[in-house]
Amino acid sequence: MKELTPKQLRAVCRASDLKCKSSADFPPLKDIVGQKRALQALSFGLEIGDHGFNIYVSGAHGTGRTTAVTTYLNEIAAKDPAPSDVVYVSNFSDPYQPKALMLSAGKGKGLVVDLDNFIEASRNAITKMLESEEYANSREDRRSQYERQRNDILTDMQEKAQKAGFALRGTQTGLVIVPVVEGEEVKRSQVAKMSAEDRESIENRREALETELRKLFMKLQTLERELVQELRKMEEEAVRFTLNPIIDDFLDEYTNYPEISEFIHAIAKDITGNLSIFMGQQGGNVTGPPQQQPRRISPEEFSKRYRANLIVDNSEQEGAPVLIVTNPTYSNLFGRIEKESRFGTLFTDFSMIRPGALHKVNGGYLVVPIRELLTSPLSYQALKRALQNNHIIIEEPAEQAGFLSMKTLRPEPIPLKVKVVIIGDPFIYRQLYILDPDFRELFKVKADFDTSMERSEKNIKLYCQFIRSLTHKEELRELSVEAIAEIVDYSSRLADNQTKLSVQFSVIADVIREANYYAKEARTRLIERKHIIQALEARLYRSNLLEEKIRELIQKEVILITTKGEVVGQINGLSVLSLGDFAFGRPSRVTASVAPGRGRVIDIEREAGLGGNIHHKGVHILSGYLSERFGRDKPLSLSARLVFEQSYSGVEGDSASSTELYALLSALSGVAIQQRFAVTGSVNQQGEVQAIGGVNEKIEGYFAVCKLTGLTGDQGVLIPKANIQNLMLKEEVVKAVEAGKFHIFAVETIDEGIALLTGKPASEINELADKRLKEMANVMREYSTSPK
């Protein structure tokens, strides 16, 4: 046991050690600070390739995980080639399944322009061809031939009618056969007045003539069909002949893309089959997904089917893409198919396909926060499926989930090659690793981000560079050397260790930003130490209302805490209350009572349902200590009760186990504990005092109470010796220790602690306790043997 000196209570960064005038003397930080292990894992995951070696970055919030990962990925990605452009085009054989074309970076934008030019050039060339004299003469020659053949057939029909005694007359309903008698056409009413023999003769001749004419009509229809077919064939051949040089010129730029050659020839075939619509000679009726009824479209709208939908353009991409998706919804990751209302129905086509993050980052690196991924419906499962199948499939979310099935577009899947980096905390990693076999197969690399790094001269310099980077990037005032020193010390306070620096850079950055505000208000050129202190005090003031209320209750003696005098079986324990953004130490009165019994130590907090499992474990350890120390020559025949007085919320942790043991030894020995002390520390069955957490908050909490009730110069705290390295106390406490107004003792064993607390040797306390236990054993023996 020893009393600690002021130099042991905190590590101090001296301004003279920094060898600078301000943060402006340092270059901006280029390297990632304090995460060597994590970066090695990250590097391994990126270099090993596919087969499930995606990366889970694990660490506490605020440790710079996202910034560090993206910085590192950008450095790696800059050395990689830019990935392919992605273009969706029409599938003329199945409009519901648009085709995907993959082109080298920058080619996609050129394809869009080239297709527009191709369409315009094709329309102009076809127009010129259709208006050419040669083509007109060819069509006219064939029409003239048809007219001659048609006239011959009509003449033959007239001659056959005359020979049979009839005349042919054209009407709105077609040709009509009219009987001719003595050179005159006879009406139906006149025929009815003829003799039966004449009428029969006319009818027989009519039937024979109709048979002949029917054959001639069929010949005429065949001739018309042949004319249409030949004109159509002539037009198609002329169009193909016209488009061939345009196609060849177009394909000169895409010799290495057979799928584009296939697509451009499909366009030529579709233009030929829909020439009248393409040329605007007539409106067209077309059907397409997912319309309910055919609709009339203009030539301009019709031509959209020949254009390209560039969903990924890497023309300006240097290196592989790195993309952070902070809102990883299903549509944001995998894209969507938009629809628009036309004439009361929903319409879509390949031009309404929109990309997701996986399309944009394909060939690069995707960074996703795990909490947002897991809370976005469908996203996590769909991402795993995409990584397993190495394809990106654009589907309707409702259909993908199996809620709804409707006929819509099913774009061709795109090959996926991406490295996924998930950022989360250790708890989620453990749960996914245990519960999800797919996760273990897909995310084989874990990069653990630490919360602290060594407080070395090199790392302090890196900290200065981080500060310089922040002030430069956000255009803040530079920090004076004294302000930098204060930040370094505060960093060790965050790390709860004199030999460490915290890497919770988000917290450090917020302090500097707030200090910059106060420096701006004061109109100083630099952020001074007083501004850093002002920022820290302001952050404390905004969060410590509950702490002040509890201290007020202690001052008014509503909550009973004694810092003077001596009491048997009573001691001041120390605990930490955490409010999320703020934690503070709170002294609590711990009491113990003993009586003859069956060797049981009762934890009243546990009995009341307020004690946690770890606290209850600490109480059992006390029983083990008592058995080891006092139970070798006799049964422990006591009933002991331990309680945190005026505690109305849960008690958890074993940091008060030594405190409870001191109170119990006092109650057994009958020796009073000096109430000027407060105690923290856990204990094992051998009586060794072990390290605990929150040591700074606990000491400062008790110091604040002593200050309220009046510092007497002999008050102090007992802490485990193992916690000396964790001390980063406030300057106010250090000065009080230096002035002899407050004391801090480090103990290694219960014997050291009980001697200090009672002012008597530990051997005497133990002897008195052992004597009391023997008396209790005798009482229990006599009671058990006495007649009932």
* Residue 100: other Cβ atoms inside 10 A: 23
C-beta of residue 96 within 8 angstroms of C-beta of residue 411: no
Unique residue bearing structure tokens 């033959």: 156
Range 262-266, long-range pairs (CB < 8 A, 24+ positions): 263/89, 263/99, 263/101, 264/118, 266/92, 266/93
As separate numbers, helices (DSSP H) first and strands (DSSP E) second, the chain gives 29, 33
655 noted as active-site residue:
yes
CA of 743: how far to CAs of 134, 291, 733, 760, 782, in Å? 113, 85, 9, 19, 47
Separation between Cα atoms, residue 616 and residue 605, nearest integer Å: 9
Residue 28 CB partners (closer than 8 Å, separation 6+): 465, 468, 469, 472, 473
- Is residue 644 left, alpha or beta, with left meaning phi > 0 and alpha meaning psi from -120 to 50? beta
The residue annotated as part of the active site, out of 99, 109, 698, 741, is 698
The rounded distance, in Å, linking the Cα atoms of 102 and 108 is 8
Distance in angstroms (rounded) separating the CA atoms of residues 693 and 725: 12
Q: How far is CA 732 from the centre of its chain?
A: 44
SS3 string, 525-566, reads CCECHHHHHHHHHHHHHHHCHHHHHHHHHHHCCCCCCCCCCE
Is 379 labeled as catalytic in the residue annotation? no
Name the CA dihedral angle for 597, 600, 605, 609, rounded to a multiple of 10 degrees. -110
Beta-bridge partners for 285: 296
Count Cα neighbours of 714 within 13 Å in the Cβ-side half-sphere. 9
655, 666, 669, 682: the catalytic one is 655
CA–CA separation, 170 and 154 (whole Å): 12
Tell me: cis bond preceding 290? Omega within 30 of 0 counts: yes
Distances (CA, A) of 358 to 309, 411, 531, 535, 564: 17, 15, 46, 42, 68
CA distances from residue 384 to 180, 401, 442, 493 in whole angstroms, order as listed: 90, 14, 7, 41
Q: Which long-range contacts (CB under 8 A, 24 or more apart) does 247-252 make?
A: 250/114, 250/118
Dihedral, CA of residue 209, residue 212, residue 213 and residue 216, to nearest 10: -160
CA distance 96 to 349: 8
Q: Which residues sit opposite 103 in a β-bridge?
A: 85
DSSP H or E stretch at residue 389:
helix 379-389
3-state secondary structure of 673: strand
Two tokens at 431?
Answer: 């749960």
Q: How many CB atoms lie within 10 A of CB 666?
A: 27
DSSP string of 230-278? HHHHHHHHHHHHHHHHHHHHHHGGGTT-HHHHHHHHHHHHHHHHTHHHH
DSSP string, 648-672: -S-B-SSTTHHHHHHHHHHHHHTPP
Q: Own/partner pairs for 423-427, CB < 8 Å, 24+ apart?
A: 423/57, 423/65, 423/66, 423/69, 423/367, 423/368, 423/369, 423/370, 424/56, 424/57, 424/58, 424/369, 424/370, 424/371, 425/58, 425/59, 425/60, 425/61, 425/370, 426/58, 426/59
Would you tell me how many other CB atoms lie within 10 Å of the CB of residue 212? 16
Q: Which two tokens stand for residue 645?
A: 């007085």
**What are the residue numbers of the active site?**
655, 698
